[in-house]
Amino acid sequence: MISAIRVLALGVLVAVAAPARAAENPPDSFLCYLAGTAKNKKLTPISGARVDVRDRFGDASFVMRRLATLCNPASIDGGDVSHDTIHLVGITIKKEKSAPKFVPFTIGVSDRFGTRQLELGGLAAVLDVTPVQPGTNPPADFNDDPTRSSVEVNRFKCYAAGAPKGAPKLPEIAPIALVDDAFPGGQAFLVRKPTKVCLPADVDGGTPGAETRGDLLVCWSVKLSRGARFARLTVGTRSRSVGVRIVGRRKPSELCVAARVFPGG
């Protein structure tokens, strides 16, 4: 019953959002890197802090654990990037001890790689917007709020996702070319399997009404083509949920692409 209600709600949101699609900017894709924050006794620790997150399935408080990913806006196969100064930081979360147990459910999503059913198996992370500056100094905050209108970047609540048990094997995806600030000349990546579904969310009141937006992200695990080189980088970030953090960016791990819930999915 819970899954049926959720799917119905998703279908209604898609129908309502459709007329406004023509006015929206092309949704961005993000190349996400494994990341970690430098220890700093002057900064409030992330682990154990609470964050309130509202997505289309409701409002709840979660315990933040650590900053785990840094995501760059990325161009895929020569496509456009709408918001090239806006990055995302991924902070892992877990439910409060008193919260009900998460019940896995299945939804249908459609992205550039096709249409499929995905099972959401548990909480994964929140994605918050941030500027980025190379080095160990924090960047200046955004001149204006990049999430203010429905045509701009969302914050997201991410669920661990994968193919439902017994589903047919996903077809092989041809290598794609990605361009971001780490690979300005472009780099071929292998796309492997879906790992997360990230729904637009209001994170601690930062993006009121985001839970009604239509676009979401499906994140896929990616791998550099054989022989490709990658240089690690230290950058400063400044997000609403965890403030200033100096982040060590490691290897590429996921590509998050714009998606929609398909009717009846």
How high is the mean pLDDT in each 10-residue block of the chain (265 residues)?
36 34 61 89 84 94 96 95 93 93 93 95 96 95 82 90 90 94 94 96 92 92 89 94 94 95 68
pLDDT at position 263, please?
Answer: 66
pLDDT at position 264, please?
Answer: 54
pLDDT at position 4, please?
Answer: 37
pLDDT at position 8, please?
Answer: 33
Domain limits, the chain: 2-261
The angle subtended at Cα 159 by Cα 155 and Cα 165, nearest 5°, is 150
**191 has which bridge partners?**
222
pTM (2 d.p.): 0.87
Measured between its terminal Cα atoms, the distance across the chain in Å is 15
Closest CA to 216 of 173, 168, 157, 176: 157
pLDDT at position 228, please?
Answer: 86
